[in-house]
Amino acid sequence: MQNRLKLNWGLETAEERAQFIETYIVQFPDLTSSEASTIADYLLWGKDGSGTPLGKDTGLETRWTKTNEAESLDAVLENPAMSNAQLYTLTDAVVLKKNRDVFNREEARKEAPEFLRPTFEELWKTIDEIELEINFYEERIGKREKPPRDELIKRFTDEEVELIRARSQKLNQYGYLKLRHRIRELRTEQFTIRDSYRSTFNITQSIYAPKHKSFVFDCDVEVLPLGVKEGTVGDIVFDKFFDPRALNEEQLRLISGLVWKKKTCQKPDNEIFDFRSLEAVYQLYLFREEFDERLEQVKIDHIVENNLEHLLETLQFYEEIADLTDVQREILKLKEKKEKNADIAGYINKKYGKSYTANYISTIFKQKIIVKINEAAQLHQDTIENCFFPENFKQCACCGRILLLDGRNWVKKTRSKDGFQSRCKRCEREIRKKKKEDK
């Protein structure tokens, strides 16, 4: 039988292909295994930001590599060699920590701060609904012999069970695979939230302490990679228009002292906050609302030395210099306004013509936006450490910024004297965007 699928092979990136498939697949409620395999390959061999096919990163082989073809996306998910991190690379080329321990809800209910418990309950409700829908679907297609477990059924009313069963009747193979992908994401999120108050560096203990009226971010906590935006050296280092060529000897001496102090930091992990750490920055956002309330109280109490405020100013600096897309920056702005993921998805979809789900907004925030903030902190460190060598910098011919000669700032050009183009990556992207809009 001739293949019915007419996939848009003109789309090169994994994100574009995933968005195309999400709307295109509804035309085929009865996918064959061969068609599912073709779609799996289509997604897996979309390219990431560096132009590398994602399937290459996962180690999977398909007919496009002239080796054994993966049977289907379902087979890929069932493969014991397939990790959670590999699954995320279908749209997010981010390596995640694999959780091997079993999540205990009762322990979480007892241990979690009171304001986090509703978040957990809402998350568990969604996980249970998806699990039950998956169970009903697998039972219907003969993949599951036993009915859903009684413990799971009892978490819903009879009416809710029938509604979930009715949804499962409308599922096709692709919808089923999407649900399995989503439930993995949500289960991972349980651990992320739990680790936020269990981790070695516990923000709730180090920053948020409502029992102590005058307590602020402890100045003994070492902030990496370059401290916070505070004092003379902080004003130099966290200047958005930092120019190493304009530094005098005194400024270089101050920077040298800061870099050396941070490089030789010997404090234990529970006394370190690192902007290069996904977990640490995620914690900061998770408890941001609590910090804002505490910060207002600090101001009311007229406490002058407020290190928490400096920490949040530093976070804002890294947000501003992070290499975020327009969509990602707008999502971040809406998240900071405490907008719900469903409302954010609706707004973004309408404004940018996307088809994001509420859950994908959460994924973008945690696995793209925060990662780019981590990367911005690392690039900032590398920039400051190179300020003693002005020859390692270059001025953009378009925006005039002085940037480190590095592939993270510049597009490579082999015929150029320094190996890079004359315009920085951000300007190149803006020029391409404008050309596309003018067409």
3-class DSSP assignment, residue 218: coil
DSSP assignments along 309-330, one per residue: HHHHHHHHHHHHHS---HHHHH
**pLDDT mean over 114-121:** 83
Q: Is residue 229 part of a domain?
A: yes
Residues 54, 146 within the same domain:
no
Range of the domain at 169: 105-198
Q: Is residue 347 part of a domain?
A: yes
Contacts of 372 (CB under 8 A, 6+ apart): 322, 323, 324, 328
CA distance 189 to 99: 10
Phi, psi for residue 394 in degrees, rounded to 5: -150, 145
Residues 358, 238 within the same domain:
yes
* Banded model confidence at residue 94, pLDDT cuts 50, 70, 90: very low
Residues 217, 331 within the same domain:
yes
Residues 327, 404 within the same domain:
no
Q: Is residue 95 part of a domain?
A: no
Which of 436, 437, 429, 438 has its CA nearest to residue 326? Answer: 429
Q: Is residue 132 part of a domain?
A: yes
CA-atom Rg of the chain in angstroms: 25
Q: What is residue 73's predicted lDDT score, i.e. its pLDDT?
A: 44
Q: What is residue 294's predicted lDDT score, i.e. its pLDDT?
A: 57
Residues 293, 355 within the same domain:
yes
* Residue 296: alpha-carbon gap to chain centroid: 29
Residue where a domain stops, chosen among 164, 198, 232 = 198
Residue where a domain stops, chosen among 88, 122, 153 = 88
Residues 180, 238 within the same domain:
no
Lowest mean pLDDT among 194-208, 344-358, 389-403, 404-418: 194-208
**Encoded tokens for 282:** 């995620």
pTM equals 0.59
Q: Is residue 100 part of a domain?
A: no
Residues 125, 167 within the same domain:
yes
Residues 381, 232 within the same domain:
yes
Q: Is residue 3 part of a domain?
A: no
Report the range out of 161-165, 220-224, 387-391 with the highest average pLDDT.
Answer: 161-165
Q: Is residue 2 part of a domain?
A: no
Number of structural domains, the chain? 4
Q: What is residue 369's predicted lDDT score, i.e. its pLDDT?
A: 95
Vertex 358, ends 368 and 165: CA angle to 5°?
Answer: 130
Residue where a domain stops, chosen among 88, 116, 132 = 88
Residues 154, 235 within the same domain:
no
Contacts of 141 (CB under 8 A, 6+ apart): none
Residues 394, 305 within the same domain:
no
Contact (Cβ atoms closer than 8 angstroms) between residue 259 and residue 237: no
pLDDT at residue 362 greater than cutoff 70? yes
Q: Is residue 49 part of a domain?
A: yes
Q: What is residue 33's predicted lDDT score, i.e. its pLDDT?
A: 60
**Encoded tokens for 148:** 């859903």
Residues 409, 355 within the same domain:
no
Residues 301, 178 within the same domain:
no
Instruction: Tell me which long-range contacts 115-118 makes (C-beta under 8 A, separation of at least 24).
Output: 115/290, 116/193, 116/197
Lowest mean pLDDT among 20-24, 122-126, 132-136: 20-24
